[in-house]
Chains A and B, each alone.
Chain A
Amino acid sequence: MSDPRDAPSSGATPGAGGAAPGAPLLEIADLRVTFATGDGVARAVDGVDLVVQAGETVGLVGESGCGKSVTALAVLRLVEHPGHIAHGSRVRFEGRDLLALADRDIRAVRGNHLALIFQEPATALNPVLTIGSQIAEVIRTHQHGSRAEAKRRAVEMLRTVGIPDAEQRADGYAHQLSGGMRQRVLIAIALACRPHLVIADEPTTALDVTIQAEILELLDGLQRQMGMAVLLITHNLGLVAERTRRVYVMYAGQLVEEAGTEALFSAPLHPYTQGLMAAVPRLDQLRERLAAIPGQVPPATAWPGGCRFHPRCPFAFDRCRAEMPPLLECGEGRKARCWLVEERASEHADARTSEPADERTHDGRRGSESRSL
């Protein structure tokens, strides 16, 4: 391949592109997406700030309806009617404001430097086009070259993602493939133009666990080889733990916590994150009883006032019902949208100026963990 981006990458800044040196690859600021519904306006994404640096893998985790997929669609400007990206939202990618680009220009970004891998391999492929032509189309759209050259690269991509008999498969159709093979084809399409950022929205949720492992190993290998960044959107805490360095946790349209992956799993700060972790049955530890989070996620047309998690939170107090907490800084690269964090931080400050550290915590975790605030 002759693409200059093929040059062995240090893995550090392959996507520096047009961005200022040191600027993040992707920067989402105050992203708001609303949907007009019969029940009123759904604020599906409500003020999300998120950053992805070149080459890194970042997780965006949350349950259904939290707004994580809509966030992905909004970045690529794929939110469809009746959805609307609110004025004032900003999405900068490689220094360009994607929300301000002309339609033609956003099309040039999509699938080129910025690619999306969907959840549903069954519906994301065109049933009446051959697999090879779907990959070649992406290549020809973004990188000039002959039809034959595009076809050759399509076959090469199929080989790269581990599809056996790539030449024959290129002339086949999606329905002839298993779920795992279709997901490989989607990865081939997403990576055909060697993107700098891949947004993978539940890329393996529809797949069996052994196939999931295979696909994720493949993605990992390709990421190392191409030096791209990955924003992994998932509900699966195991995947986040295993595959990401940094995590954003989303609940009810907002980010509720942001942390390095190890820090998040060793001491989650937000009661929602704590609740999620306690609710998952685990292979590596036997739990007598799962700590279920009571109630359910409210509809996006009726987010609760104050902290949106307060009706389900075991620690909620008056302020939580009255006033929405901001994302509060709590240590290096850590933020949490919880009034308790603020309280703990001030306790910590008090403790530092007065007597031995107060071991009392609000969630029963060891005091030593909360002292790292």
Chain B
Amino acid sequence: MTEQVRLSDGTLVRPLLDVADLTVHFHRRTGLFGSHREIVQAVSGVSLAIGHKETLGLVGESGCGKTTLARTVLRLVERTSGTVRFDGQDLHALAPAELRRMRRRIQIVFQDPYASLNPRLTIGAAIREGLTIHKLAEGAAADRRVRELLDEVGLSADAADGYPHEFSGGQRQRAGIARALAVEPELLVCDEPVSALDVSVQAQVLNLLMDLQARRGLSYLFISHDLAVVRHVAPRVAVMYLGRIVEEGPAEELYARPRHPYTQALLSAVPVPDPVSKRPRIVLPGDPPSPVNPPPGCPFHPRCQHPGKDAMCSEVRPELAERAPGLRAACHKG
């Protein structure tokens, strides 16, 4: 268990969320009639911690395991090994009743708010649900609470009577956030919360999330494939590749001087809205390998463009090691 988590400003605090050596493997049947069995190694030995009122950004491309990690943190997916401690308690060891109580304190915001909003429930009813289940308010008090929550996320009170399909993507995401906030969580897991939104609306929702954090003292695990969005919201960032964290540290340092060749390539690939900037681009050959059959040694070695790449990279898996205050990278050469 991590004793303390180092924030981006260097201060050490007790973690609110503490994920230690978490591994999640799925068994999958493939082939005709499911005759063939294979194991998807979605998350392998991931450790991360988030402090109170802190945002940790988690970036990675499709299939890297970031969504599985998010779901395992909420225990929507069962772990294979490792621990997920919230406020000191291992979520995966809790009895159902205790888990339910704990879930009030951790909520999730999905990329597609349809995933969290029942199409047959009005927005108001969806928000009330959490209040009722956790016995936080009922009757007129619940109505009032719903109105307050709608107001807090920038929706008008009459939005309570509308159904999800009657709203635009941005408004639906606001409603999804209101639903999550209803039960007064301490940690919000945001899984690609703005990826489906247009730029102008995306900015509104990002601003809202940052305002809510300041006002309510929320902690965020903010997951996105968009490095610029993560840069904007998260003072501390972890980079995931093929089920593992390959680099983690203060955003400023990580974006300015990425140590891992994957982070370097990822950052160089992002187009910057400045036609005169001439940034060197590292183009990676091929696709990421399948998590069913991850390569031995460093998971990134088949695509790695580091000039010093050698036999060690394909044989020995590098561990995360400290490269700068609070910044760790898993590379033999970095």
Partner of B199, one of A179, A280, A284, A287: A280
Flag the segment in B28-36, B200-208, B309-317 that touches A: B200-208
B306 close to chain A: CB less than 8 A: no
* Cα–Cα distance between A265 and B273 once the two chains are bound (Å): 8
Q: CB within 8 Å of A: which of B285-305? A: 285-287
- When the two chains form their complex, are residues B203 and A290 in contact, meaning their CB atoms are under 8 A apart? yes
- When the two chains form their complex, are residues B231 and A283 in contact, meaning their CB atoms are under 8 A apart? yes
- When the two chains form their complex, are residues A217 and B283 in contact, meaning their CB atoms are under 8 A apart? yes
Q: CB within 8 Å of B: which of A256-285? A: 261-262, 265, 275-277, 279-284
B170 close to chain A: CB less than 8 A: yes
* Cα–Cα distance between A282 and B227 once the two chains are bound (Å): 9
Partner of A289, one of B207, B276, B277: B207
Q: What are the residues of chain A within 8 A of B99 when measuring CB–CB? A: none
A242 close to chain B: CB less than 8 A: yes
Q: What are the residues of chain A within 8 A of B275 when measuring CB–CB? A: 241-242, 261-262, 265
Give the nearest-CB partner of A62 in chain B. B198
> Given the interface contacts A63-B199, A282-B228, does A241 sit within 8 Å of B207 by beta carbon?
no
- When the two chains form their complex, are residues A211 and B272 in contact, meaning their CB atoms are under 8 A apart? no
- When the two chains form their complex, are residues A63 and B232 in contact, meaning their CB atoms are under 8 A apart? no
- When the two chains form their complex, are residues A242 and B272 in contact, meaning their CB atoms are under 8 A apart? yes
Q: CB within 8 Å of B: which of A324-344? A: none
A210 close to chain B: CB less than 8 A: yes
Q: What are the residues of chain A within 8 A of B231 when measuring CB–CB? A: 281-283, 286
A349 close to chain B: CB less than 8 A: no
Interface string of A39-66 (1 = CB under 8 A from B): 0000000000000000000000001100
> Given the interface contacts A209-B266, A296-B168, does A280 sit within 8 Å of B273 by beta carbon?
yes
B: number of interface residues (CB 8 Å):
42
- When the two chains form their complex, are residues A292 and B204 in contact, meaning their CB atoms are under 8 A apart? yes
Whole-angstrom distance between the Cβ of B119 and the nearest chain A Cβ: 19
Give the nearest-CB partner of B279 in chain A. A284
Interface string of B210-247 (1 = CB under 8 A from A): 10000000000000011111011000000000000000
Whole-angstrom distance between the Cβ of A63 and the nearest chain B Cβ: 4
Q: CB within 8 Å of B: which of A223-241? A: 235-241
Q: What are the residues of chain A within 8 A of B88 when measuring CB–CB? A: none
- When the two chains form their complex, are residues B228 and A280 in contact, meaning their CB atoms are under 8 A apart? yes
* Cα–Cα distance between A281 and B265 once the two chains are bound (Å): 19
A180 close to chain B: CB less than 8 A: yes
Q: What are the residues of chain B within 8 A of A211 when measuring CB–CB? A: 61, 287
* Cα–Cα distance between A179 and B61 once the two chains are bound (Å): 12
* Cα–Cα distance between A164 and B302 once the two chains are bound (Å): 15
- When the two chains form their complex, are residues A235 and B199 in contact, meaning their CB atoms are under 8 A apart? yes
Find the residue from B202, B274, B275 having the highest chain A CB count within 10 A. B275
B281 close to chain A: CB less than 8 A: yes
* Cα–Cα distance between A49 and B109 once the two chains are bound (Å): 41
Give the nearest-CB partner of A211 in chain B. B287
Partner of A281, one of B200, B225, B228, B267: B228
> Given the interface contacts A181-B287, A283-B255, does A209 sit within 8 Å of B269 by beta carbon?
yes
* Cα–Cα distance between A191 and B228 once the two chains are bound (Å): 32
Q: What are the residues of chain B within 8 A of A213 when measuring CB–CB? A: 268-269, 281, 283-284
Whole-angstrom distance between the Cβ of A37 and the nearest chain B Cβ: 15
Q: What are the residues of chain A within 8 A of B267 when measuring CB–CB? A: 283
Q: What are the residues of chain A within 8 A of B198 when measuring CB–CB? A: 63-64, 235, 297
- When the two chains form their complex, are residues A210 and B269 in contact, meaning their CB atoms are under 8 A apart? yes
A291 close to chain B: CB less than 8 A: yes
B270 close to chain A: CB less than 8 A: yes
Whole-angstrom distance between the Cβ of A178 and the nearest chain B Cβ: 5
Interface string of B239-269 (1 = CB under 8 A from A): 0000000000000000100000000011111
Q: What are the residues of chain A within 8 A of B276 when measuring CB–CB? A: 262, 265
- When the two chains form their complex, are residues B201 and A236 in contact, meaning their CB atoms are under 8 A apart? no
- When the two chains form their complex, are residues B225 and A209 in contact, meaning their CB atoms are under 8 A apart? yes
Find the residue from A208, A277, A283, A297 having the highest chain B CB count within 10 A. A283
Interface residues of B (CB under 8 A from A): 61-62, 168, 170-171, 198-204, 206-207, 210, 225-229, 231-232, 255, 265-277, 281, 283-287
Add 14 more A-B contacts to A211-B287, A241-B271 (CB < 8 A): A209-B61, A209-B227, A210-B265, A265-B274, A265-B275, A265-B276, A281-B226, A281-B231, A282-B272, A290-B232, A292-B203, A293-B203, A296-B168, A296-B200
- 14 CB contacts below 8 A, A to B, read A63-B200, A64-B198, A209-B269, A213-B283, A235-B198, A237-B199, A238-B273, A262-B276, A265-B275, A265-B276, A279-B200, A283-B267, A296-B170, A296-B201
